[in-house]
Amino acid sequence: MTGSIFWKWVRVTALAALVCLWCYPFVWLVSASLKGPLEVFSKGLNLIPDQLLWENYVRAWDTAGFSTYMVNTVIVSVGTVILVVFHTGLTGYVLGRYQFVGRGLVIGILAATMIVPIGVTIIPIVELAGAVGLLSTREGIILALSGSGQAAAILLYAGYFRGLPKELEESAELDGAGFFRTYFSIMLPLAGPVTATVSVLTFLAAWNNFLIPLVFTFGAPELRTLPVGMLAFVSSNETDWSGMAAAATISLLPVVTFFFFMQRYFVEGIAGAVKQ
């Protein structure tokens, strides 16, 4: 069996080389963010900086406004997660456990919203938000993100709640709990694993979203999120390679760190979507 062990390690080595190639852009990015402006060019492919220049980070964080963009992105992402868990949990609960008039219609509309391209909805969203004064506000961004394409989260909740035993509501009813208390104090806490998955997926989607914060902050640069700020930064500082690299590293680091800790929920969530 020596041959098969040999081939196993050949495969591992080939895969490891592929992974290095795959992650190279990010390694290059971190390296460039610590180099001097001229060093990025003069040292070419050498990834080790002469000395670690943290001033690129100071420049991006303070001067270029990425501290503000970071605060905006965190507020928008956390706000969206709370609102999405609140509304998709409620809907998933009644869809998963109850028959009612119009249930088929609700499911049909949810399924249809899954394939509506953002290009179709963005113009009326901006017009409506402008009419009610939500356009240059973080609240507007949160509401628009929470109301766009959340069918997958609803289906995750519905699937989970469907599997819980019927006796749960009956015993809660005997204790005199109303629908709302039953849901918020018994059912929602039981759905912890789904809440974790939905929160992780929603957080990443909100953090990475671009078009909605872009069009909502045309008139309010101080409300830009990280990706919107990034585009603005390179538009006016095209030649500042190390500043660009520091700004991009600042923007990506939280979401990458978050992913490493929450990987399990993420992988379960997307794998579950296919298996159904």
Partner 1 sequence: MHQPPQSTLGRIWADRWIYLFLLPTTLLLGIFTVYPTLASLWFSLLDRDGFGSDGAFVGLANYVELANDPLFWNAFGNTMQFLLIAVPLRVGLALVLAVILNASLPFVRILRTGIFLPVVTTAAIVGVVMRYILDPTGGPVNLILSQTGLADGAVNFLGNGSLALYSAIAIWVWKWLGITVIYWMAALQTIPADLYEAAEIDGATAFQKFVRITLPLLTPFTIIITLITAIDATNVFDLLLTLTNGGPFYSTEVIDIFVYRHAFVANIPRLGYASAAAMFFGIVVSLAALVQILVVARIGRRGGAA
Q: Identify residues 6-35 at the interface with partner 1 (CB under 8 A).
A: 8, 11-12, 15-16, 18-20, 22-26, 28-29, 32
Three-point CA angle 52, 57, 59, nearest 5°: 120
Q: Which is nearer to partner 1, 53 or 95 (CB)?
A: 95
Round to whole Å and give the CA distance between 37 and 55: 11
Single residue of 1, 48, 101, 174 touching partner 1 by CB under 8 A: 101
Round to whole Å and give the CA distance between 211 and 251: 16
Closest listed residue to residue 212, CA positions, set 115, 89, 77, 81: 77
Q: Which is nearer to partner 1, 91 or 199 (CB)?
A: 91
Binders of partner 1: how many residues, by CB under 8 A?
Answer: 95
Q: Which is nearer to partner 1, 53 or 85 (CB)?
A: 85
The residues in 57-96 that bind partner 1, with binding defined as CB under 8 A, are 83, 86-88, 90-91, 93-94
Q: Which is nearer to partner 1, 1 or 180 (CB)?
A: 180
Q: Report, in Å, the least distance between residue 88 CB and partner 1.
A: 7
The residues in 166-225 that bind partner 1, with binding defined as CB under 8 A, are 179-180, 183, 204, 207-208, 210-211, 215, 218
Distance of CA 96 to the CA centre of its chain: 25
Q: How far apart are the first and last CA of the chain?
A: 39
Round to whole Å and give the CA distance between 60 and 54: 10
